[in-house]
Each structure stands twice: as C-alpha cells, then as structure tokens.
C-alpha cells in the first residue's frame, strides 16, 4: 500500500486583518515620507537619511538645521536658537512624529528607502495532520452540498451550527459557511 505524504491545507485566511495591517504599514510609510517632505520644505537639506529620520524625526531635524546653516551660524547658536532665529515652526513635525510612533510596526531600510514587510503567513491557518485534513475536506464537501442545495431550495442557514453540532458554522458577516476551526484541533 502506497503511503501518501502529508500536505497541509489552508483552514482560513484572515483577509480583513491582513488588509488592515497592510493599510497601517502604508500609513506609517506615508508619515515618514511626509516628514521628509516637510524637512525639505522647511530647510532644504542636501539629503535626508531616512533611517535617522525614522529613529527620531525632531532630533534629526535639529541636527540637519545645524548642518544646513553651519556656515551662516557664526555666533555658534544651538539648533533650538537657530530654529527660533529662522522662525521655523516645527510643531507639525512633532505631530507627524507622534502619529508615526503610534503605529507599532518594524520598518526596514534598503538604499535609504523605507519598507515594511507584512507577512501573509501570519494571517493564515493551516492543518497540521492528516486527521485535520480529512475533517476539513469532509466539512468543505458538506458546505459545497449546502451551497448547491441553497441554490435549488432555500435552507435555514442559521441552524447549520446546531445541525452539525458545531462542525460547520454559518458566518453572518461573510454570509457563508465555514468549518469550525475548533473542531479541527
């Protein structure tokens, strides 16, 4: 008798949570870009180091002020004094930094370009045994039969949970059936 190798099957994918995480990543990167644009508009430095900007926007801005106005700073003014003398209102940068830090995600850098990797695998649930595979396949066949029957004759979807002792549930949010992940354990 031929022994088959176990191949995991996907039980579920948290699509909504995955998309929310991707949106958060996009928002964080947009805030970093917004800070960079703000700095360019305020003092026009030669180059903005995105990693330093990521670490502390306000502190890095002050360093850039000292660097940008080095030749003009004959009195040896501090960064704060230069900012006051140039009448630069950097409170919007403080707000950007606050919003940026509120989004707790790891930012990576390559060639001064920021990126955030949202791993799809963290939002997937897979079977871990042949027994789980069988339970999932049987449940999916039952769901297919229910869907086919519903096309021909309306069924009381809300009673599916009781009918199957919790094996198959009706998800009102998605308006569809699913195999109960707790049954697979």
Q: For the chain, what are the domain ranges? A: 15-120, 127-179
Which tokens belong to 106? Answer: 């790891």
User: Mean pLDDT for each consecutive 10-residue tract of the chain (185 residues)?
Assistant: 79 94 97 94 86 94 89 84 87 95 96 94 94 94 94 91 92 89 85
User: What pairs with residue 176 in β-bridges?
Assistant: 171
Q: What is the pLDDT of residue 63?
A: 92
Other CB atoms within a 10 A radius of the CB of residue 122 amount to: 10
Q: What is the pLDDT of residue 2?
A: 57
Q: What is the pLDDT of residue 15?
A: 93
Q: What is the pLDDT of residue 29?
A: 97
Q: What is the pLDDT of residue 3?
A: 63
Q: What is the pLDDT of residue 85?
A: 86
The alpha carbon of 47 is separated from its chain's Cα centroid by a whole number of angstroms, namely 28
Strands (E), 45-107: none
Which tokens belong to 148? Answer: 């086919």
């Amino acid at each position: 008798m031929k022994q088959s190798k176990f191949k995991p099957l996907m039980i579920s994918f948290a699509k909504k949570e995955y998309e929310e995480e991707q949106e958060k990543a996009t928002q964080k990167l947009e805030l970093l870009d917004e800070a960079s644009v703000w700095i360019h508009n305020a003092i026009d430095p030669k180059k903005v180091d995105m990693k330093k900007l990521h670490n502390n926007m306000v502190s890095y801005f002050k360093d850039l002020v000292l660097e940008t106005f080095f030749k003009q700073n004959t009195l040896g003014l501090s960064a704060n004094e230069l900012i006051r003398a140039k009448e630069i209102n950097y409170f919007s940068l403080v707000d950007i930094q606050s919003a940026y830090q509120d989004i707790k995600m790891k930012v990576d850098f390559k060639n001064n370009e920021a990126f955030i990797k949202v791993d799809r695998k963290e939002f997937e649930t897979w079977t871990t045994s042949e027994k789980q595979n069988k339970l999932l396949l049987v449940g999916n066949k039952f769901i297919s039969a229910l869907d086919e029957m519903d096309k021909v004759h309306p069924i009381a979807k809300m009673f599916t949970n009781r009918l199957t002792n919790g094996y198959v549930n009706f998800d009102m949010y998605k308006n569809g059936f699913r195999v109960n992940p707790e049954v697979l354990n």
